[in-house]
Amino acid sequence: MTALGFLGLGQMGSAIAERLQAGMPGLHVFDPSAAALAPFVARGAVSHAGVLGVAEAAEIVFACLPDGPTSERVAAEVADGDAVKLYVEMSTIGSPALSRIAEAMEARGVAVLDCPVSGGPKGARAGTLSVMAAGAADALARAMPYLEAIGRTVFVVGERPGQAQLMKLVNNLINAANMATAFEALVLGVKGGLDAETMVQVINASTGRNSATTDKVPKAVLTGSFDYGARLATMHKDVALGLAEADALDVPMWVHRAVGELWRFGMTQGMGSEDFTALIKVLEGWAGVEVRAPS
């Protein structure tokens, strides 16, 4: 059986790694947090003292890390491993960073699969993620059984690492805009005297429905729980990466730049570690109302 490794057991990484561990009890893992490692070790995973230990034990190493600089640093350590033959980068870091990782690792004989996902930690645990993959055909074939264990649908978007990054950022730009516009409009309705729950029901039966109104608002805003499972800082990062891709390709982004300013404002208010659905609180504060269902 092929030995698997996983690097980065944060909010998203741990959920993905749980799916992999279900079919690979001896999963090789590393995370700087002992608390993050503990439940995996309890289920039979092999914990390592550092990144290199995983790369010297596992032929296929998955990584889900918080940002580009971290991903590039970790990938450089992985490339020194004796066992690793395929590196599956699941982080959302943008195509320039992914291209640099692929170039450096392939020079060391390690194939790279660009493989971000969409669906959040809940989707990862349920195995319902949307998986976007770009890379050589043989790398895709080798990783496919594991990708199918992680996600409901695997989309092959290209042969060049970096293309899946762009696909993920296109998706997240739309996601960020859906949330921002839905939040803003719902606050308007409540301010004008409409019932929040009724509004969502009407929208979801009409042309305004989107993933914010069908999923995020009912589960985490109307309830006041703000626990959908993704940090505001992560969405802000992805919007910034998407706008950087647009700059590199000379594509005007009038609407998404305005959306980006709202997410950036949330960051300036110290909300980065909060759930991304909490962004609506900024708009609620300005209007003096709350978008909640009756308790």
DSSP letter string, 30-99: E-S-HHHHHHHHHTT-EE-SSHHHHHTT-SEEEE--SSHHHHHHHHHHHTT-SS--EEEE-S---HHHHH
19 by DSSP, 3-state: which?
helix
Nearest to 233 by CA among 267, 265, 183: 267
Q: Write the burial class of residue 141 (CB in 10 Å: 0-12 exposed, 13-18 middle, 19+ buried).
A: exposed
168 as an active site residue: the answer is yes
**Per-residue CA distances from 50 to 25, 157, 218, 221, 283 (Å):** 19, 32, 41, 39, 43
**Per-residue CA distances from 204 to 38, 217, 280, 284 (Å):** 41, 11, 19, 21
> What is the spatial distance between Cα 210 and Cα 204, in angstroms, rounded to a whole number?
8
Nearest to 180 by CA among 136, 236, 132: 236
> What is the spatial distance between Cα 260 and Cα 32, in angstroms, rounded to a whole number?
31
Nearest to 161 by CA among 93, 211, 73: 93
Length of the chain: 295
Catalytic residue among 168, 216, 237, 281: 168
Structure tokens at 140: 């895709």
> What is the spatial distance between Cα 165 and Cα 176, in angstroms, rounded to a whole number?
16
β-sheet bridge partners, residue 154: 131
Residues with active-site annotation: 168
